[in-house]
Amino acid sequence: MLLNEQLQDFLKILNKIETNNELDIECSKFLGKSGILTREFKNLAKLSDEEKKATGIRLNEIKSIAEKAIRERKNCIKQKEIDRKLSDETVDITLPVQKDFGNLHILTRETRRIKKEYKSKGYLILDGPEIETEFFNFDALNIPKYHPARQSQDTFYIENFPETLLRTQTSCVQIRALQEYGVPLRMISIGKTYRNDKLDATHSPMFHQIECLVVDRKPINVGHLKEALQQIVSFVFETDNVLLRFRPSFFPFTEPSMEVDCCYRKVNGKVELVSDGNCWLELGGSGLVHPNVFKNCGIDEKVYGFAYGFGLERLVMLKYGINDIRSFYNPDPRILKSYASA
């Protein structure tokens, strides 16, 4: 029978096929709509009843043989593909491990370093919500309604949420800490703050602040504040050769209020703190806590305290000679890596 020979030829071809595309083509020639076997089934109508029955049985047998052979060939091709991938994509577990797994961002590294140091000194490491109310961000800090800092040119207010804003300072953490922990209290907070500033080399609408508050029932004076400032500046810049000066200033939440400057000289573009430098550099603000702040926190007893605050990016820029604040937020891995080794 000619069909038996065609079946044998089809099976021989199947054994040589290596890809699914080739298999589909050959299957179509034998079992497709215009294939050899399909034409034979159509010819059954021309046969007598007895021939039709015998031929139909044989055609179905041939179809079953062909379909079984096709399934086996598909499985064979699939297994060969798996074997090839296993061979080509094998991982040699004896190769040395890649050592470059990325680096901590320089701001993250300095933040963790400062927190670890002050935690070891017994300070509470605190933070608060970045979306604040006017009470915690302004009112409790003795910042009156008419103060320019409350206007929209400096503050991001939340639309459709009256008296709600992105915190402009971490000082609001002081209020929450005083309400929760009372007196005595020693705390430090490092977190994100937001101001409506245009992004340029020295300004950013989002930046980090370091905030410190120390409160006690025992008298605290400017001498205690100066010692605390010398400790934080010495630690951040990793030097004991620190000379500070205070300039009278005004902050609603401290009285007296002082700007803090440090003596320095520049070496290879970096700020080097020295007691015999030829320049003074502003670092941040400080002062003794205003009595109204304690009153707004529900503290009626006689207490004393000091607070100071610095911009973290500013300190890190000075320490490592970085001249553009936008560099901190550049995702280029080469820049991040260079900071990691700074």
- The domain locations on the chain are 2-88, 106-340
Instruction: Give Cβ neighbours of residue 37 (< 8 Å, ≥ 6 apart).
Output: 3, 30, 31, 59, 62, 63, 66
Dist. CA 140–CA 297, nearest whole Å:
7
Is the Cα torsion angle 217, 221, 227, 232 positive or negative in sign? positive
CATH superfamily of 106-340: Bira Bifunctional Protein; Domain 2 (3.30.930.10)
Q: Give me the chain's average pLDDT, please.
A: 87
pLDDT at 152: 64
Closest CA to 191 of 228, 230, 137, 271: 137
Candidate from 20-24, 268-272, 317-321 with smallest mean pLDDT? 268-272
Q: How far is CA 298 from CA 56, 211, 218, in A?
A: 99, 21, 18
The model scores a pTM over 0.85 = no
What confidence tens digit (pLDDT) does each residue in 5-35 have? 887 888 888 888 888 888 888 888 888 887 8
- Asked whether residue 1 carries a pLDDT value surpassing 70, the answer given is no
The answer to whether residues 190 and 312 touch, using CB atoms and an 8 Å cutoff, is yes
- Report which of residues 151 and 243 the model is more confident about: 243
Q: Are the C-beta atoms of residues 172 and 149 closer than 8 Å to each other? A: no
Buried-state track 103-129, b at ≥16 Cβ within 10 A, e below 16: eeebbeebbeebbeebeeeebeebebe
pLDDT at 89 over 80: no
- Residue 140 pLDDT more than 80? yes
* Distances 161 to 132, 156, 164 between C-alpha atoms, Å: 11, 12, 6
